[in-house]
Chain A
Amino acid sequence: MSDNASATRITRGNALRPEDIAVSGLKPSDEVGQYALRLGDDALILAQRLSWWISRAPELEEDVALGNIGLDQLGHARSFLTYAGHAWDKTEDDLAYFRREPEFRSAHLFEQPNGDFACTIARQLVASHFQHELYSRLVDSADETLGAIAAKAVKEVDYHKDHSVQWLLRLGQGTEESRRRMIDGVKLTWPYVEELFEDDDLTTALAEQGVAVLPSELRESFDAAIAAAFEQADLTVPTDPGASGGGRRGHHSEHLGFLLAEMQVLAREYPGASW
């Protein structure tokens, strides 16, 4: 690894090195790497979306809250991507900045535009509940590193979940306008829920080995938690059919390309730059 391998280090030689994060010190198989890549991409794309809110949220405290949540997501992304990168001798930055859109494995939910604040909250509601269900089971993974990252992440996602539910209640039971916007936000978000719980060959194979969590197995408890929150907010969970997904296979909506262009421009324009 050259001195210039990281674009995000604060000073020379300062980047988190792969060996710092991988507690097992083992090189994951290609399959485990692919799985870690999915989770890392979800978190990375969400982090990028959330950071947009800094200076634009409805109140100063909310700038801080969404900024903090984005930072937590970025932390999770760094751990997952560093570990995934071990499989192919790549750094977290190689994976974040130098992959093209079809090479990303994030689900469509995470790339959905911020919309208004209520729309972002609807996305956060789904994202945090999904991640919480996933990480709280992934702590028992047969893969020690995935388990360790999940154990760390679940404590943080717990706050994210609480944050989104509090806003769901406030907006849902607030003014006529806030309620209308919350309902709209939920309606726009819900078609992207389906994809999160789809199993495929990779998750099936890894779940059999006790490494991955089968997404479909998370659905029941996710639905129960969401239903409880909606009931409290006096809102109805949409029943609209799911949109076509395919993010795990690299098929993305038009939104991801724009997001990546913004996220990657500096690293691509000045390879090896540090700040």
Chain B
Amino acid sequence: MATTVAHRPADPEAARLWDIAATVCDPEIPVLTIEDLGILRNVETGPDGVVVTITPTYSGCPAMDSIRDDVTTAMVTSGVADVRVKMVLHPAWTTDWMTDSGKEKLEEYGIAPPTGMAAAGPVRVGLSVKCPQCSSLNTHELTRFGSTSCKALYVCKDCKEPFDYFKVH
């Protein structure tokens, strides 16, 4: 998969504003920007100012409120006076939107990135998750629900370390 950010606008001014919004990091996983995560969907300028569109990862994700504030702050700090952050549920966010560089940053940070693509139906084959500490594939899911909605808790059977896995969604 190529790392392309499909939604970065072609228009130079909109692209500049996109890059400002893209500096905002996820408060739970500060190594990832909202662009890395695929949360940032669109930036456009119109008669009512700048509209930044973001898509929540999970319906109950408490980080969305602070991401909204951070986007507004980043814009205002860069001199954009009139900015509105719009939250759009459709199409629903998927880990397929995460960039390759985002996945690399996750692994460096000690969180196993999502493996493979989100499937339309159930996948009953247990896909191996690579331990971000020792790269072993001999790992085990402790619980599908981790420290945040988007993560599952795994443990490595070789190095014995527990680790978070950013689950495919």
Contacts and interface: CB of A to CB of B under 8 A. Distances in A.
A binds B: yes
Interface of A: 9-11, 14-16, 19-21, 23, 61-62, 64-65, 67-69, 71-76, 78-79, 144, 147-149, 151-153, 155-156, 158-159, 162-163
21 contacts: A11-B69, A15-B65, A16-B65, A19-B86, A21-B87, A21-B89, A23-B89, A62-B143, A64-B145, A65-B144, A68-B146, A71-B60, A72-B60, A72-B149, A74-B60, A75-B61, A79-B89, A148-B92, A151-B89, A152-B59, A152-B89
A10 to B, nearest CB: 6
Contacts of A76: 59-60
B24 interface: no
Given A61-B153, A72-B149, A163-B144, A23 B60 contact: no
Given A65-B144, A72-B59, A72-B149, A149 B64 contact: no
B86 A153 contact: no
B114 to A, nearest CB: 13
Q: Which of the listed residues A64, A74, A144 has the most CB atoms from chain B within 10 Å of its own CB?
A: A64
Contacts of B93: 152
Contact of B92 (A21, A64, A152): A152
Nearest to B118: A155
Contacts of A144: 90
Given A61-B153, A75-B56, A76-B60, 12 more contacts: A16-B65, A19-B86, A23-B88, A71-B62, A72-B149, A73-B60, A74-B60, A75-B58, A76-B59, A78-B59, A148-B89, A158-B122
B159 interface: no
Interface in B58-79: 58-62, 64-66, 68-69
A68 B88 contact: no
Contacts of B69: 11, 14
B91 interface: yes
B91 A72 contact: no
A23 B59 contact: no
Nearest to B167: A159
Nearest to A65: B145
Contacts of A159: 144-145
